Structure 1
Amino acid sequence: MDLDTLGLSATVTAEGISAPDYQTVLDTITGYFQQIYGSDAYLDPDSKDGQMVALVALAIHDANNTAISVYRSFSPSTALDDALTSNVKINGITRRAATNSTVDELIEGEAGTLITNGSVKDANGIIWNLPAQVTIGIDGTVIATATCSVAGAVAAPAGSVNKINTPTRGWVSVTNPQAATVGVAAETNAELRVRQSQSVALPSLTPFEAVDGAIANISGVTRHKLYENDTDTTDANGLPPHSIAAIVEGGDATVIANSIRGVKGQGVTPYGSTVIVVPDKYGNPHSVGFSRPVDVPIYVKITIEPLTGYTSQVGEEIKAAVSAYINSLAIGASVLLSRVLLTG
């Protein structure tokens, strides 16, 4: 049996790939069977011949679906799971695995003190590991990103990770000025596609897109937003003239600073509340600023008029839907009442 002649195989055209659905395949095979054995051949599902025809149709349908999946696996916009993971490697990126929570620690002590394999504790006794080596700066302070030893969504409010777990001579105190960035689940297909599209902006001629792509490609970064002020005066957001301001959730502070420094345009000041000193290739120090997002509490009050069939489960589902919408908002996005109503 020639599938091309029957019109049952997957077909590639200028519009893409397509194939007949299962019912079309089954009807076509049934029609040819009756041409061969007679129109009175009994092919209902409870007959042996009917089941055999269904098996052949299902095999053709499965083969077509496999061909479609293979065809679509070569494009980042349509590939799924492992195929998408392999595709984005061409752009030099990998799918992000589930991450641990991280927090920027302000360490104080004697200038030049070297902290090796240090760690700190939070109010719940959970250990947060510092980088392998941390050196306190000449001003007696240094900012280092600590990683939670427990995988998953471990929260730590500002000021709660303040106990030295590995005492070191010259190390006086530690605290986290801002809340920790909570760990996230493994990157989804949709999230990976967005990051892949951002990563191709790295070699662009516009430094703004290059910085945006570089930040998006940093391990541990879950959300970010970039602002630019290319005027000669301070703008409405408080950005100094000729500056950029990155708001970054997650990721190592030093890696973020080095990435911004490496791709930003000449004469552009990286502005933010977190300032990291990074050297250029000649060893000259440069202050690179960026900011961590600060969560703003959102309160939603919904009055429900229960009708027939209403249960408490419905109310819980409404609360969960509204919460999911708010938590999905990008950094700096507005909470729209109309969207809340549609969500509920």
Structure 2
Amino acid sequence: MALTKLGYKRETYEEILARTESKAKELFGQDANTSSRSALGFILRIIAWSTSLVWQDNENVYYSAYRNTAEGKQLDNLLVYAGITRNPASSAYGDVTFTGEANTLIPFGTIVSKADDTLYYTAEEKRISSNGTITIEVVARELGSVGNADIGEINKLLNPLQGVESVTNPIAIANGRERETDAEARKRADEVVSGQGYGTVSSIRTELLKNQDIRAVYVDNNPEDTTNEYGTPTRAIQCFVLGGDDTDIAQAILNKKSAGVQAYGTTIVNIEDEAEYTQKIGFTRAETVQIYAKVTLKTNISFEADGHRQVRNAMVAYVGGLDEDDTVHSGLSMGEDVVLSKLIARVYAVTGIDDVTIELSADNAVFSAANVTMSRPQIAQLSANAIEVI
């Protein structure tokens, strides 16, 4: 039987072949030649192979009914039962600064690019100010992480503009994302389901994480009669949030918090409730702790030509941040320590490594082979350019 109390048990090609050979000998006699060189054996093997594919398809159908094992489109069909859909790829966006003659017009749709010809267009029309510069938001033409850029990478004008001398991005752009993977979608669905309801810490956290631009959340609940260690007043909550728009964050908190409970924070947003009364909703931006790493490798002949890149990307995927392929990884949760042994394990997963030593630092000055401890409002981030591999 395929279905047992332990689940679906697929019959393998070898098991199907043994069963068909046994049946053939039952029908044609025990001396029937069912070897791979006989005509009968050849036919039996064709039948066994074709039947094994049917068993495999049936197994895929069985597992496609469960969120933890479904993949691709089948997983998309199950996500709706958790109240979410898969996050699509999103374009990177950020500010660039044009330098040139005062009062020069930068038209809407002006195209700038990186050295690799990744294109961006200006999302607004502005004139260069009297100090010779103007900052304008640009949006990447292509979806996904290809639009992410380090400081100064966006430095080309596709078509020269009279009066414009140069363009650059003064801050890094790291909000372009690929389509949400199966693993990420499953994790988010689990969090949403566990946080259903209203007025609980998990429900507020879940509501915030439904926003694809929010990468991490910690909800501090203070039921005590004194202000706690995070500065949360008595009978209040304080949401520490990484990423996302201020208004979207405040609206999510208002949607789920209990009546009469103060939403405290260093950022205050005025939001209208269902009765059109203005509510002051507070939250606090998470403190990002930049991690630096020095990695010493002992490799063998199996170590690949791009092995150093693989090492950096594996480390970034664990901690969280921007890897060498300009992909943003969520990584560790807020307040979660950077555990050295787990980081070493990620590096060992790269082919061709015999030994590895990793030293970490939170200030790029003092490095040590030890864990980096985070407090609750802090979240560790590690970018590929902050990893030195020897």
| TM-score strictly above 0.5 | yes
1:18 equivalent to 2:9? Answer: yes
Q: Please say if 1:196 is aligned against 2:189.
A: yes
**Counterpart AA for 2:34:** L
Instruction: Determine if the alignment matches structure 1 residue 152 to structure 2 residue 155.
Output: no
Q: 1:245 maps to what in 2?
A: 239
Which runs of structure 2 are paired with 1:18-97 in the superposition (5 Å)?
18-97=9-88
User: Is contact 1:100–1:147 with CA below 8 Å preserved after alignment?
Assistant: no
Deviation at residue 279 of structure 1 after TM alignment: 0.9
Number of residue pairs the alignment of both structures matches: 291
Q: Distance in 2 between matches of 1:37 and 1:335?
A: 67
* Structure 2: distance between partners of 1:334 and 1:177: 30
2:92 aligned partner: 101
Structure 1 segment 259-298 matched on structure 2, within 5 A = 259-293=252-286, 295-298=288-291
Of residues 251, 254, 276, the one that matches 2:247 is 254
Shift of 1:122: 9.5
Verify the 8 A CA contact 2:110 2:121 in the aligned structure 1.
Answer: yes
The question of whether the paired residues in 2 share the 8 Å contact of 1:244 and 1:268 is answered with no
**Alpha-carbon contact 1:203-1:210 (below 8 Å) kept:** yes
C-alpha spacing 1:189/1:30, structure 2 compared with 1 (3 Å): same
**In 1, Cα distance between equivalents of 2:304 and 2:170:** 40
Give distance in 2, aligned partners of 1:246 and 1:120: 37
Structure 1 residue 211 displacement after superposition: 0.9
- SS, match of residue 58 in structure 2: helix
1:322 matches 2:315: yes
2:210 is aligned, of 196, 204, 217, to 217
Match of 2:372 in 1: none
* 1:246 shift after superposition: 3.4
Match of 1:113 in 2: none
How many Å separate the matches in 2 of 1:303 and 1:278? 51
Specify whether residues 197 and 33 from structure 1 end up closer, same or farther in structure 2 by C-alpha distance, changes over 3 A only. Answer: same
Equivalent of residue 201 in structure 2, options 208, 220, 236: 208
Aligned equivalents of 1:30, 1:55: Cα separation in 2: 12
- Offset of residue 38 of structure 1: 3.3
Residues 98 and 334 (structure 1 numbering): CA distance in 2 closer, same or farther, change over 3 Å?
Answer: same
**1:339 aligned residue:** 342
Q: CA deviation at 1:339?
A: 1.4
Q: CA deviation at 1:98?
A: 0.9
Q: CA deviation at 1:86?
A: 0.7
User: Is the CA contact 1:248–1:291 (under 8 Å) kept in the aligned structure 2?
Assistant: no
C-alpha separation in 1, matches of 2:297 and 2:287 = 31
SS in 2 for 1:303: strand
Cα 1:157–1:259, aligned 2, differ >3 Å: closer, same or farther? farther
Contact 1:246 1:271 in 2 (8 A): no
Conserved? CA contact 1:215–1:259, under 8 Å: yes
Using the size of structure 1 for normalisation, the TM-score is 0.70
1:331 & 1:119 partners in 2: Cα distance? 38
Kindly provide the CA deviation profile for residues 60-91 of structure 1, in whole angstroms up to 9, marking residues without a partner as x: 22222222222222222222211111112123
CA distance 1:147–1:46, change in 2 (3 Å): farther
Q: 1:201 to 1:343 in 2, by over 3 A?
A: closer
Contact residue 67 and residue 79 of structure 2 kept, 8 A: yes
Structure 1 residue 330: deviation in Å? 2.5
Q: Structure 1 residues 278 and 180, CA, compared in 2 at 3 Å: closer, same or farther?
A: farther
Deviation at 1:261, TM superposition (A): 0.8
Task: Return the TM-score normalized by structure 2.
Answer: 0.63
Partner of 1:167: none
| Number of the residue aligned with 2:161 | none
Given that residues 101 and 182 in structure 1 are in contact (C-alpha distance below 8 angstroms), is that contact kept between their aligned partners in structure 2?
A: yes
Question: Which one of 268, 274, 295 corresponds to residue 302 of structure 1?
Answer: 295
The structural deviation recorded for 1:312 is: 6.8
Bigger drift between 24-33 and 270-279 goes to: 270-279
The structural deviation recorded for 1:324 is: 2.8
Tell me which amino acid in the other structure corresponds to 1:246: F
Tell me the CA shift for residue 280 of structure 1.
Answer: 1.3
| Contact kept? 1:215, 1:221, Cα under 8 Å | no
Greater strand percent: which structure? 2
Question: Unmatched 5+ residue regions in structure 2?
Answer: 96-107, 125-136, 155-168, 321-330, 348-390
Residue 200 of structure 1 aligns to a residue whose secondary structure is helix
Distance in 2 (alpha carbons) for counterparts of 1:69 and 1:215: 34
Unaligned runs of at least 5 residues, structure 1: 1-8, 105-117, 131-145, 162-175
Task: Name the aligned partner's letter for residue 54 of structure 1.
Answer: R
Root-mean-square deviation over aligned CA pairs: 3.7
Aligned residues of 1:93 and 1:196 also touching (Cα < 8 A): yes
Displacement of 1:295: 4.0
Q: Distance in 2 between matches of 1:247 and 1:119?
A: 32
Identity %: 25
